[in-house]
Chains A and B, each alone.
Chain A
């Protein structure tokens, strides 16, 4: 296991290098001059050229890449053009809301989807099963922003249960934190509940037809134990895989949700940085997301080892 972890962690290094180069190149291929954006509408060509020199954008592509790469090795993502701040510090400031939202969403999703899917598989064709399937179709078809505004309209504006927007840091207490986060997290979780419940249902239904489930019943075990320890435990690998994919998609999804609920997280930072052509911030945020993806994948692979003793790398 230790050996496997070490190998996998070393293997992330080339992945990150390739992502870094691609991100750096792509941004410079997109039309739009950061210097012009910073200089504003009234600026002269000289002003723009001066700003460009200040930012180092007048140097050759490879020189710029070299400077950025050197910084990266030292853990320095560069300076934001727009905020005039360290990119690492900037990501650090915006990290908590995004991570809190993603974490709460995943918790809600898993707590709802896995039991629901398991019960639906157990009572295959029953009312719960059919209701879940109907809900899935609905969950897949409604875009997050539509659902978000609908929920804000009912729960915040009409019923006044939740704040319309904003974020309270965790440090200010769990109550306010949860109060601000619950509605966005719930919104985000709908589509993942639909996805993961379906996968759970299919996977558990298949496990329930296996011989070892028959053995478990022949042992006189209660159905709850048959379902959880025998069917679900064997169905876990595909479910965990989809949860991993869900987390990856979710990190992309927060960009939209944070805009709808005005949460000052990485999503809003990304949108602002793109609009301002703030190259160092865009590069830094994308690199950070890529790193998260790689880590989530690693965690998923490690969980396979724990969940299924037959899997050995």
Chain B
């Protein structure tokens, strides 16, 4: 395996940034000021000239997992520093231990994991030796945290104002009036509209972006020395993400806050990081300045990660697919209405006037943010929901206006792969049963369906021997392969991928996309690819539709849309893609 750790390469005592300082300073693009190279005393790593300005200093930290876990350590011998005014990104895929490290710093590790070795210094205090009460006093005051899910990280039954107020009441001596004034000022600082209204609003009344602003306001209101941001923009739309990243960066610069930023997204790293620590399976793989890690990665794992990041530009002109369309959609619309006897009737147009065609062997992408109506279109085509208006035709078969029963044969020809492989497979059904369920419904004999399932497992690069296992025995990427096999079992002509790779790690994502492409060329499948991820769309689609608020605002070949976008919304969407314009090492290195 490619996991030589930096800590094994470097002597344990110097700061990681220090050891890489020389390399970093050779790089003209390095944004970090050259560090002092005075070696530190191993016994007092938190003191001395080299640690000057280090707000957080993690020294040889190991976090042990309970006996019986898949590995002994969630984090294994991790060392890094975060200086005042600096953003350090912990970069890693799922299971890399990046979140565990942040919880160790906060003193909020789950009961069954514990720090087994190492030190965590905040300034010159070892957090691991503090009493629980003393540590609690630091949380929210000296160290603050922003979490991934703004939808669930705020208390749903408490007003936003009260949630900040209780923090101030706990850590300051301010009066109620002063606390309110301070909170409103902070709402203003994070650019929340109408702070007075937000103060008395409950979280569910705000959008995801606004909730994350509340979290940021809460984290920064006491001007902490250290801000830990755990995937703070992962759940947000790309335009909102760009705003929130800019906000964190601005506030952090203004206040000189040290930021430990946890992410799996290379684009976000390119956007925000000063320095990067790459983690894999709990081990520190590589550390250095952003430019050095992203442009000249030394370790094979980092190189592989970076090579997996899809570019923002389509690779080549897609093949033109002319002739008779396999699927044609004209003027598709879906209107939801709510309200009843007593309330005023309200209607929402989830999709409006959507028209496009799909040819055999072609991939058409529908890109858009949440609420743009892209999934509504997919569900209308599969008739999981009924469209309000519009014509849909598959070959010579009409899909709209016919009863669901008579659709049975058409359903066989259109199959769908869903976003979350952890929830789209029945946990109590063996994967083999899941794959043959469709064919059995269409009268295929059990033996021949099973034989076909074995072939399909080979096609998606899984062993046919695992057909008798349950979904929980597979990783996310493997489950998505099973979902693909399940969809292909009915020999569909059209495959709809509804955010099919969005929940996967970037390296796994790259593999699944490659697999889809191979299967497409083998079977001449038409693919409708629905995604919010512009990079993925740019790589895989021949043509692209951009949707906003239920309408298609732009459509054309992938190159036209991504390189010369015409509609203002498309331009804004592309400009918001994190790390756009940052030249990754992708093109320069060969993946080993």
A221 touches B157 (CB 8 A): no
Does A215 sit at the interface, judged by CB under 8 A?
A: yes
A10 CB to closest chain B CB (Å) equals: 12
Closest-by-CB residue of B relative to A236 is: B157
Does A128 sit at the interface, judged by CB under 8 A?
A: no
Does B202 sit at the interface, judged by CB under 8 A?
A: yes
A218 touches B157 (CB 8 A): no
Does A59 sit at the interface, judged by CB under 8 A?
A: no
Task: Find A310's partner among B141, B154, B156 (CB 8 Å cutoff).
Answer: B156
Would you call the interface of chain A mostly helix, strand, loop, or mixed? helix
A212 touches B154 (CB 8 A): yes
Task: Find A308's partner among B108, B140, B157, B218 (CB 8 Å cutoff).
Answer: B157
Closest-by-CB residue of B relative to A235 is: B157
Residues of chain B with a CB closer than 8 A to A221's CB: 136, 140, 166-167, 170
CA distance A3 to B144 in the complex (A): 43
Does B298 sit at the interface, judged by CB under 8 A?
A: no
Contact with B along A219-256 (1 / 0, CB 8 A): 11110010001100110100000000000000000000
For the complex with contacts A219-B218, A309-B204, 10 further pairs of A-B residues with Cβ separation under 8 Å are A210-B152, A211-B147, A211-B153, A214-B108, A220-B170, A221-B170, A225-B166, A233-B158, A308-B157, A310-B204
17 A-B Cβ contacts within 8 A?
A: A7-B342, A211-B153, A212-B153, A212-B156, A215-B153, A218-B140, A220-B136, A220-B137, A220-B171, A221-B136, A221-B170, A225-B170, A234-B156, A234-B157, A307-B157, A308-B157, A310-B204
Does B149 sit at the interface, judged by CB under 8 A?
A: yes
Does B139 sit at the interface, judged by CB under 8 A?
A: yes
CA distance A228 to B508 in the complex (A): 42
B139 touches A212 (CB 8 A): no
CA distance A76 to B154 in the complex (A): 53
Residues of chain A with a CB closer than 8 A to B259's CB: none
* A221-B140, A310-B202, A310-B204 as given contacts; A216 in contact with B155, CB under 8 Å: yes
Does B145 sit at the interface, judged by CB under 8 A?
A: yes
Does B138 sit at the interface, judged by CB under 8 A?
A: yes
B204 touches A215 (CB 8 A): no
Residues of chain A with a CB closer than 8 A to B204's CB: 309-310
A220 touches B141 (CB 8 A): yes
A84 CB to closest chain B CB (Å) equals: 48
CA distance A179 to B380 in the complex (A): 69
A100 CB to closest chain B CB (Å) equals: 33
Does B501 sit at the interface, judged by CB under 8 A?
A: no
B155 touches A214 (CB 8 A): no
B534 CB to closest chain A CB (Å) equals: 28
B37 CB to closest chain A CB (Å) equals: 36
Residues of chain B touching chain A, judged by Cβ–Cβ distance below 8 Å, are 106, 108, 136-141, 144-145, 147, 149, 152-158, 166-167, 170-171, 202, 204, 215, 218, 342
Does A50 sit at the interface, judged by CB under 8 A?
A: no
CA distance A57 to B153 in the complex (A): 67
Task: Find B147's partner among A7, A214, A234, A309 (CB 8 Å cutoff).
Answer: A214
B155 touches A230 (CB 8 A): yes
Does A28 sit at the interface, judged by CB under 8 A?
A: no
Closest-by-CB residue of A relative to B156 is: A310
CA distance A229 to B163 in the complex (A): 10
Residues of chain A with a CB closer than 8 A to B202's CB: 309-310
Task: Find A218's partner among B106, B137, B152 (CB 8 Å cutoff).
Answer: B106
CA distance A307 to B156 in the complex (A): 10
Does A70 sit at the interface, judged by CB under 8 A?
A: no
Interface centre among A215, A222, A310 (most CB of B within 10 A): A215
B170 touches A219 (CB 8 A): yes
Does A217 sit at the interface, judged by CB under 8 A?
A: yes
* A220-B138, A220-B140, A229-B158 as given contacts; A214 in contact with B166, CB under 8 Å: no
